[in-house]
Structures are given as structure tokens and as C-alpha cells.
Amino acid sequence: MRIGLLTEGGYPDAVGESHAWCDRLVRGLTGHDFEVYALSTDPRQEARPRTALPEHVRLVRRAPLWGDFPAGRRRAAAERKGRSPGRRERRRFAERFGDLVTAFATVPDGGGPAGGPPSAPDASVSWKADRFATGLYGLAELAREQGGLPALLHSEAAVRILEAVCHGPRALPAAQGAQVNDLLAVTDRLELALRPLSLDWYGDRHAPGLGGVDLCHATSGGAAALPGLLAKRFFGTPLLVTEYGVRLREHYLARAAAPLSVPVRALLAAFQGALAAETYAQAALITPGNTHARRWQERCGADRARLRTVYPGMDAAPFAAVADAAPDDSTTLVWVGTVEPAKDLIALLHAFAEVRRAEPAATLRIIGGTGRDPRAPGYLAHCRALAAQLFPDEAADARTVGESPVSFEEIGSPDLPVLADAYASGAVVVLSSVIEGFPRSLVEAMFCGRATVSTDTGAVCEVIGGTGLVVPPRNPRALAAACTALLADPDRRARLGAAARARALELFTVEQNIAAFRGIYLELISHAPARPSACRTQDVHGVPRPFARPAESHVPGRWAATGTATRAVIAPAGRTPSWAASGAGQSAAVPGEAGGGGAVRDAGQAVRREDSASHQAWPVRGREQW
């Protein structure tokens, strides 16, 4: 089976959990051939050293979602010759781009909230979805047949079309005051988002591509799913969408922190919302990573019947030694993660001040570095200053150097060479976030058999499942009370830790994840109709004949068929089964048999296809096969 793996900002070049998950999936499903189509979101991503990929990754195609359109990646023959779009192409672009913009930049009649999904599925909402699809696939056909789409999206005509819609009577309220610089910013970002429409990834009669794969697996929504939408539209290829972090939610959070004007933010959010709705409508199956992501997808129009939760697979092996060690009777709290405002370390520090009043010997280790959030370095400095103010260095006497009960550390330091050491250093693991998707640090703590105290955000309750304490977010007093209760009760910590480890090993391992996707791949392919692009054997009318090649032709060796009896012989060297005699229905020996020089396969075994005339079965490795 050929799988087209569609990624954005991750596998095979980026680092982080998105890369690790895809790598584990590909290496676990060795029975399939993978073709990776990767969209990079950062120039530094393509500059990183390339990692060695498994042999069954047959093809890797890359394209950037930044800078100018890459030379040599356009798929239209006319554009490769350098011909500029003509009047007919420009008129066609104006119609289809107008449909696209009208669909996402206007409010439906009787409609829903600006920039978000409608409150109820009515006729106008359906009309908007149909018009968005008409515009999207119309632009894709234009790029496929004529080329020139990136230049047209940067043209003055595109700006004027967007301006006319934004100043119309049904425009989004937040976009009605858009200025020229706002419109230019939106068209620039639309060109990047729609860049997959113009790539040479889809193949034709001269080149392989997504037109020949059996299944497209998009590892996120947004731009990564666009090639899968086009493969579904033009070739009938089934589309599987996996979202462990909902792309639309990530877009909202990123735009909120970006220095963009209100009209630009509203228009881009509306476009991403419409794209997510189209992706969910066309996907054969959607696999959210947790119930929190599933609710987002349902709100954006995903059909419940095509939603199936598949938890992320995480490697439990590095944490086995921590879980097997003796329970830690210390009074140390550990926080592990990426330092950023959403983690609410301010509340954790104030909660720890309460914990110190009940447990004077308690300590707090904050382990982690800053992420991609530009506010993270300043936030970390603020947390250090607050810790110094709340907990001045303590000394036993005037001659002793004082130590703060709060430490800020990173993985890779001499005291914490690997991640497992961070969890091994504490008795209780704390999560204090106000915004959280799938809490990976909690799963790692559960693998280590550690008791946890968490805030009720994202998928925390779903992951914990009663094996830890959960408190409301932004409530330092409740967080302190839960931590104090566990620090004072080692037996309860041990019980919760053992239950947490058992739950994590049952639900969140790599093996569970790979087994789920192995079954999903086979299920989707079994329900997919035969496609001419994927089936090489056709009749005189061009209708696919997927079973025209007999199954036995895939088995090594020489085969003979006479009448209704077709047999293959695989026997030890120098021996011939009694039923492999000459005459009608005689089978030919494979290489390595008596009379055929070659290596012997499965010495002492005999394999024979079912004889359709007698329905006899022959033993194969101790079992009978019919």
C-alpha cells in the first residue's frame, strides 16, 4: 500500500514531538510504502541536517511556506515556459478568487459569530461552504492547467476583489475597516496558505505523485491537508486527517500574539475556519488525539460518525527505570515543560509559598527552557524575579551560604542529563497551565509512576482519568492544598502513581498508536473504490480490473495452472511431495527444489494452494490453510 504522508512544519526535517510521532509511525508500519510531502514553515528547518529515513520511505518532496515560490516546483507546462497569464486566465482567476473570498469574508444570513463557525447549519451556511469549495478547487484547476496562480494572488486584481468584498454590505464587521496595507498583508498570507495548489506534487502521465498513492494521511489540518483535498478531488484518493493539536486552535493562538491589525486577524481566522470545515467535510476519517480536540472539530462541522479518537503514541521505555525504582519519600515538587505565559508559573510560585507554610522542607524544581513564543524569555525573567522576592535565600546562620527552595533548570545540565531524571527527582509532578492541549508531561510522569497535581484545562482530565488530583486553573490556593495533601501522604502518592502508570501503559504507548493506524489504513483502503490511477490493469473501456493479476503471481517461484488445479511446490532439497507428480495439474518446483538449483526455503515445510477441485488443505507450519 502506498501512503502519502502530508506534513507541515514537522517530519522529516523538524525536531520536536510532531517529528517524533511521524517517525515512530513510519518506522512501525513497515508493511507499507510511504511518500512524504513536507511543507516547511521556517527557513531554519531546511538548513538542519537530514536524518536517515527507513527504506520503505520511497519518496520525499519538500516545499516552503515562506519566501518566494520555489523555482522548479510549478506543475503547469505553460508556466515552465515562462508564459504570463493571459486575459482568459485572469478572468477565470477573478471569478474563482471572488467565490473564495466571498465565502469566508462575509457573514451568512441569519448567521453566526464573525470569524468563527456558524451557530446553526442553515441553507446560507451550506451555500457559503459550497462557494468556498467552488473557489478553492477552481483555483486548483487553474493552477493545474495554466499555472501563474502565485503571481495572480499577488496581483492588483486580487487586492481589488478582496477590497470589494470587505467593503460590501455583508462583510465581516471586523474587516469592514480594512485599509490597503491590511489587504496586501492578507493576500500575501493567502498566497502562502494556497501554495500547495501550485506545487508539482500531484503527478501526471509523465511523473509520479499523489495521483498514484492509495491513501493520503495529513498529520494536521490547514495547509498540510490541502494536497490531500486535491488528491481526493481529482483522483478519488481517500483522505485521513490526524490532529493531535487542532490546527485552527493553534492558528487562533498564534494570531492573537502576532502584531497584526484587527481586519487582518479576522480575515485570516475566517479563511482558516472555512478551510478546516472543508477538510473535515471531505476527510474519510478524522482522528483527534483527545476529546478536547474532538470538541473543536465537531464545532467546526466535523461529522461525529467520521471521528475516531486515537491517543498519541509515546515511548515508555526511557521511563521504565524510574518506575521500577523505590518510591521517593522526598518533599520535592517538579514542574516540567516549556516556559511560556500559558503555563502560569506565576500561580505555581504563589501556590508553593502556601505549601512552604505547611511543609517548611518542601522544594520546587522548575525544569524547562523557553519555546518559540517571543514573550517567553521575558516571562522567564519575571518568574525568576518573583521567586527571588517570595523566597529569599535561606541560611542556617550568618556564616552559611543560603539556598532558595525554588530552582530553574534545563534538561542536559549535569544534575539532569535526561528527561527521566527530572521526574525521578521529585515526589509529585505539577502542571499549572491555563491553556493546554494534550499534556505530554503528565503522560511522562504517569510512565514514571509519579502522583500528579494538575489544573483542569484541555485534555488533562481525560488523560489523568482519576489517577491524580485536578484543581481549577488560576487558583493558587487550591493548587497548594492538593500539593500539600500528597506531600503529607506517601502511601496515597504510591497508590496514585501505580494506577497512573497502569493507565498510561494501556492507552498512551507507541504500540497502541501504531496498531490503531494499521487497522485504520486497511479499513479505509477496503472501502475505497478502485481508481484507474492506482490500478494498472484495465479492460478495453478503461475500467479498472484490480484482481486481474492472480494472487499466486506475487509468490516467488515458477507457477503452472492446468484446468482447475493450480499448485506451487516448496519442499526440501532432494524431495518432491507425492502430490506433485507428473500429469494433469502438475506443479512446477520453485528454485531450490529437486531439479531446480537455488537456495532452499522453509526446509521441511510444504506449501500448496487450495485445489479448487478437491478442496484439500495441506499443512503449513503446523496449521491447516484452506
Q: What residue ranges define each of the domains in the chain, with the CATH number in brackets?
A: 47-306 (no CATH), 317-508 (3.40.50.2000), 550-626 (no CATH)
pLDDT of residue 448: 95
Angle at 431 between CA 353 and CA 408, to 5 degrees: 60
Element (H, E) at 485: helix 476-487
pLDDT at residue 537 tops 90: no
- Which amino acid type is present at position 491? D
Nearest-angstrom CA–CA distance, 344 and 272? 28
In the chain, count of helices (H) and strands (E)? Answer: 21, 17
Cβ contacts of 95 within 8 Å, gap of 6 or more: 138
E strand segments, 411-524: 428-431, 451-455, 469-471
Percent of the chain with pLDDT over 70: 76
Indicate the range of 314-328, 340-354, 564-578, 609-623 predicted with least confidence. Answer: 609-623
pLDDT of residue 270: 94
pLDDT at residue 292 tops 70: yes
DSSP bridge partners of 568: 588
Residue 75 near residue 147 (C-beta atoms within 8 A) = yes
Cα 124 → chain centroid: 32
| Greatest distance between any 2 Cα atoms in the chain | 105
Give 55's pLDDT tier (boundaries 50, 70, 90).
Answer: very high
What pTM did the predictor assign? 0.78
Cis peptide before 12 (omega within 30 of 0): yes
pLDDT at residue 531 tops 80: no
Instruction: Count CB neighbours of 541 within 10 A.
Output: 5
Q: How many residues does the chain have?
A: 626
**First CA to last CA across the chain, in angstroms?**
25
Torsion angle, alpha carbons of 597, 601, 604, 608, to 10: -100
394 vs 348, more confident: 348
Percent of the chain with pLDDT over 90: 54
Nearest-angstrom CA–CA distance, 531 and 409? 55
Place of cell 489517577: 467
